[in-house]
Amino acid sequence: MPKRQDIETILVIGSGPIVIGQAAEFDYAGTQACLALKEEGYKVILVNSNPATIMTDTQIADKVYMEPLTLEFVARVIRKERPDAILPTLGGQTGLNLAVELAKAGVLEECGVEILGTKLEAIEKAEDREQFRALMNELGEPVPESAIVHSLQEAYAFVEQIGYPVIVRPAFTLGGTGGGICTNEEELIDIVSSGLKMSPVHQCLLEKSIAGYKEIEYEVMRDAKDNAIVVCNMENIDPVGIHTGDSIVVAPSQTLSDREYQLLRNASLRIIRALGIEGGCNVQLALDPHSFQYYVIEVNPRVSRSSALASKATGYPIAKLAAKIAVGLTLDEMMNPVTGKTYACFEPTLDYVVTKIPRFPFDKFESANRHLGTQMKATGEVMAIGRTFEESLLKAVRSLETNVYHLELKEQVDDALLQKRIQKAGDERPFYIAEAFRRGVTVEQVHAWSQIDPFFLTKIADIVKYESVLREHVGDIDVLKKAKEMGFSDVAIAKCWHMAERDVYEIRKRACITPVYKMVDTCAAEFESETPYYYSTYEEENESLVTPRESVVVLGSGPIRIGQGIEFDYATVHSVWAIKEAGYEAIIINNNPETVSTDFSISDKLYFEPLTIEDVMHVIDLEQPIGVIVQFGGQTAINLAAELAARGVRILGTSLEDLDRAENRDKFERTLAQLGIPQPKGKTAFSVEEAVRIAEDIGYPVLVRPSYVLGGRAMEIVYKKEELLHYMEHAVKVNPQHPVLIDRYLIGKEIEVDAISDGEDVFIPGIMEHIERAGVHSGDSIAVYPPQTLTRDIKQKIVDYTIALAKGLRIVGLLNIQFVLYDGDVYVLEVNPRSSRTVPFLSKITNVPMANLATKVILGAKLKELGYYTGLKEESEGVYVKAPVFSFAKLRNVDISLGPEMKSTGEVIGKDDTFAKALYKGLVASGIHIRPYGAVLLTIADKDKEEAIDIARRFYNIGYQLLATNGTAQTLREANIPVTVVEKIHTGTPNILDVIRQGEAQVVINTLTKGKETESDGFRIRREAVENGIPCLTSLDTAKAMLLVLEAMTFSTTAMTEKKVGV
Partner 1 sequence: MKRQLILEDGTRFVGEAFGSERQTIGEVVFNTGMTGYQEILTDPSYCGQIVTMTYPLIGNYGINRDDFESIEPHVFGFIVKEACTSPSNWRSELTIDEYLRTKNIPGLAGVDTRKLTRIIRQYGTLKGMICDMDVSVSEAVAYLKETELARDQVKRVSTKSPYASPGRGHRVVLIDFGMKHGILRELNKRHCDVVVLPYNATTEDVLQLHPDGVMLSNGPGDPKDVPEAIDMIRGVLGRVPLFGICLGHQLFALACGANTEKMKFGHRGSNHPVKHIETGKVAITSQNHGYTVTEQSLVHTRLEVTHIALNDGTIEGLRHRDVPAFTVQYHPEASPGPEDANGLFDDFMAMIEQFKKERGVVHA
Q: Which range of residues in 80-88, 220-228, 819-827, 956-964 is near partner 1 by CB under 8 A?
A: 220-228
Site string (611-650) toward partner 1, x via CB under 8 A: ----------------------------------------
Q: Out of 164, 346, 686, 700, which residue is the one contacting partner 1 (CB under 8 A)? A: 346
Q: Is 779 annotated as a binding residue?
A: no
Q: Out of 59, 137, 184, 266, which residue is the one contacting partner 1 (CB under 8 A)? A: 266
Q: Which of residues 441-500 bind partner 1 (CB under 8 A)?
A: 453-455, 458
Torsion sign over Cα 109, 110, 113, 115: negative
Peptide bond into 990 cis (omega under 30): yes
Residue 355: CB minimum distance to partner 1, A: 12
Torsion sign over Cα 693, 698, 702, 707: negative
* Residue 342 touches partner 1, criterion: CB under 8 A: yes
Per DSSP, what are the bridge partners of residue 283? 218, 299
Residue 233: CB minimum distance to partner 1, A: 9
* Residue 255 touches partner 1, criterion: CB under 8 A: yes
Residue 227: CB minimum distance to partner 1, A: 5
Per DSSP, what are the bridge partners of residue 277? none
Peptide bond into 701 cis (omega under 30): yes
* Residue 387 touches partner 1, criterion: CB under 8 A: yes
Q: Characterise 449 by phi-psi region: left (phi > 0), alpha (psi -120 to 50), beta (else).
A: alpha
* Residue 397 touches partner 1, criterion: CB under 8 A: no
* Residue 729 touches partner 1, criterion: CB under 8 A: no
Q: Is 242 annotated as a binding residue?
A: yes
Q: Is 215 annotated as a binding residue?
A: yes
Q: What is the DSSP string of 670-737?
A: HHHHHHT-----EEEESSHHHHHHHHHHH-SSEEEEESS-STTTT-EEE-SHHHHHHHHHHT---BTT
* Maximum CA extent, the chain: 95
Q: Is 298 annotated as a binding residue?
A: yes
Residue 324: CB minimum distance to partner 1, A: 16
Q: How many residues bind partner 1 (CB under 8 A)?
A: 53
Q: Which of residues 349-368 bind partner 1 (CB under 8 A)?
A: 349-353
Q: Out of 6, 138, 160, 258, which residue is the one contacting partner 1 (CB under 8 A)? A: 258
Q: Is 35 annotated as a binding residue?
A: no
* Residue 530 touches partner 1, criterion: CB under 8 A: no
Q: Is 44 annotated as a binding residue?
A: no
**Nearest to partner 1 of 158, 517 (CB atom):** 517
Q: Which range of residues in 386-394, 581-589, 772-780, 1050-1058 is near partner 1 by CB under 8 A?
A: 386-394
Length of the chain: 1063
Peptide bond into 252 cis (omega under 30): yes
CA distance 1000 to 997: 8
Residue 273: CB minimum distance to partner 1, A: 11
Q: Out of 125, 129, 421, 518, which residue is the one contacting partner 1 (CB under 8 A)? A: 518
* Residue 739 touches partner 1, criterion: CB under 8 A: no
* Residue 514 touches partner 1, criterion: CB under 8 A: no
**Nearest to partner 1 of 254, 684 (CB atom):** 254
Q: Is 875 annotated as a binding residue?
A: no
Q: Which range of residues in 177-185, 219-227, 402-410, 790-798 is near partner 1 by CB under 8 A?
A: 219-227
Residue 224: CB minimum distance to partner 1, A: 12
* Residue 193 touches partner 1, criterion: CB under 8 A: no
Residue 315: CB minimum distance to partner 1, A: 14
CA distance readout (Å), 280 to 310, 318, 331, 747: 11, 7, 12, 51
* Residue 890 touches partner 1, criterion: CB under 8 A: no
* Residue 388 touches partner 1, criterion: CB under 8 A: yes
Query: Which of 23, 748, 134 has its CA nearest to residue 359?
Result: 23
Angle among Cα 123, 129, 133 to the nearest 5 degrees reads 100
57-62, long-range: CB within 8 Å, 24+ apart, which pairs? 57/844, 58/844, 60/31, 60/34, 60/35, 61/12, 61/34, 62/38
Q: How many CB atoms lie within 10 A of CB 1056?
A: 4
* Residue 293 touches partner 1, criterion: CB under 8 A: no
Residue 347: CB minimum distance to partner 1, A: 4
Please, what is the end-to-end C-alpha distance for the chain in angstroms?
A: 72
CA distance readout (Å), 789 to 273, 769, 785, 1041: 59, 8, 11, 13
Beta carbons of 632 and 575 less than 8 angstroms apart: yes
CA distance readout (Å), 222 to 70, 300, 823: 30, 13, 64
CA distance 657 to 812: 12
Q: Which range of residues in 285-293, 683-691, 792-800, 1007-1015 is near partner 1 by CB under 8 A?
A: 285-293
3-state secondary structure of 264: helix
3-state secondary structure of 763: strand
Beta carbons of 869 and 792 less than 8 angstroms apart: no
Residue 241: CB minimum distance to partner 1, A: 19
Q: Is 175 annotated as a binding residue?
A: yes
**Nearest to partner 1 of 527, 686 (CB atom):** 527
* Residue 218 touches partner 1, criterion: CB under 8 A: no
Parallel, antiparallel or unpaired: strands 249-251 and 353-359: antiparallel
Q: Which of residues 542-581 bind partner 1 (CB under 8 A)?
A: 543
Query: Which of 462, 482, 479 has its CA nearest to residue 407?
Result: 462
**Nearest to partner 1 of 199, 537 (CB atom):** 537
Q: Out of 34, 174, 192, 345, which residue is the one contacting partner 1 (CB under 8 A)? A: 345
**Nearest to partner 1 of 293, 674 (CB atom):** 293
* Residue 343 touches partner 1, criterion: CB under 8 A: yes
Q: Characterise 775 by phi-psi region: left (phi > 0), alpha (psi -120 to 50), beta (else).
A: left
Q: How many CA atoms lie within 13 A of 1046 on its CB side?
A: 26
**Nearest to partner 1 of 341, 650 (CB atom):** 341
* Residue 225 touches partner 1, criterion: CB under 8 A: yes
3-state secondary structure of 605: strand
Q: How many CA atoms lie within 13 A of 174 on its CB side?
A: 24
Buried b (16+ CB within 10 A) or exposed e, 519-530: bbbbbeeeeebe
Q: Out of 8, 366, 530, 539, which residue is the one contacting partner 1 (CB under 8 A)? A: 539
* Residue 848 touches partner 1, criterion: CB under 8 A: no
Residue 264: CB minimum distance to partner 1, A: 11
Residue 473: CB minimum distance to partner 1, A: 18
Q: Out of 96, 277, 281, 331, which residue is the one contacting partner 1 (CB under 8 A)? A: 331
Angle among Cα 351, 234, 90 to the nearest 5 degrees reads 110
**Nearest to partner 1 of 263, 404 (CB atom):** 263
Q: Out of 114, 128, 347, 476, which residue is the one contacting partner 1 (CB under 8 A)? A: 347
Q: Which range of residues in 26-34, 289-297, 749-757, 1006-1014 is near partner 1 by CB under 8 A?
A: 289-297
Q: What is the DSSP string of 945-992?
A: HHHHHHHHHHHHHTT-EEEE-HHHHHHHHHTT---EE-B-TTS-SSBH
Residue 929 is given by DSSP the state -
3-state secondary structure of 236: strand
Task: List, as residue ranges, the binding site for Mn(2+).
Answer: 284, 298, 300, 818, 830, 832
Task: List, as residue ranges, the binding site for ATP.
Answer: 129, 169, 175-176, 208, 210, 215, 241-243, 284, 298, 705, 744, 746, 750, 775-778, 818, 830
Task: List, as residue ranges, the binding site.
Answer: 129, 169, 175-176, 208, 210, 215, 241-243, 284, 298, 300, 705, 744, 746, 750, 775-778, 818, 830, 832
Interface contacts to partner 1, rule CB under 8 A: 225-227, 229-230, 252-259, 261-262, 265-266, 269, 289-291, 331-332, 341-343, 345-353, 387-389, 453-455, 458, 518, 523-528, 539-541, 543
